[in-house]
Structure 1
């Protein structure tokens, strides 16, 4: 199992752009899209287990902003919040899977088969350092 954990973590490292947020019923049907059809957000994981996430609010869905460290155990990802805006100032637990050859990261509030919210992230290509 440790190899699986290491593999998942190595796939998660990088910068991700939010591509969708969907609420699912236990039957797997989409029940809503609380951040609309074009959500805005970024997620970063560093090799030394730092993380940060920012998601713009949309209608009644709150803005999300927190940073800290990450711990991975199989498919469970814990965001250990060091600083965050309420209501996201507490540690967060998600269930992760990587799809499309490492190009897509899904973070969900529960596993498939249960009611859950899934955040779909798309990997950002490295930009390099820009200078003037």
Structure 2
């Protein structure tokens, strides 16, 4: 995994501040962790505040969702009142978990995409802004 800032740039900054190279390596990991936190915040904000659906739902996902909905209705119809309530509570909790998983996956993809683009632009001969 490439760090958000290149090691040479971190060493350059560290040298300006009088920091030894070993400490710069540790500092670069803290810097990277901070950048990841910020990017995850940006990703979640974009996901929830954009006003449009950012995640394209595949045909397979739509088909699976239809099957889940049919099975849900079939199961609810066969359960007693107390069992229905328990199953509905389970379904709601499971749906929340799936939503959080999707949010985490979106954030991870956002960070991975940012790392990729930074790697492509930072190290290209045409646009090396880490010089």
Normalised TM-score (structure 2)? 0.26
Flag the structure with larger Rg.
2
| Structure (1/2) with the larger helix percentage | 2
Higher relative contact order (CA 8 A, sep 6+): 2
| Structure (1/2) with the larger strand percentage | 1
Normalised TM-score (structure 1)? 0.26
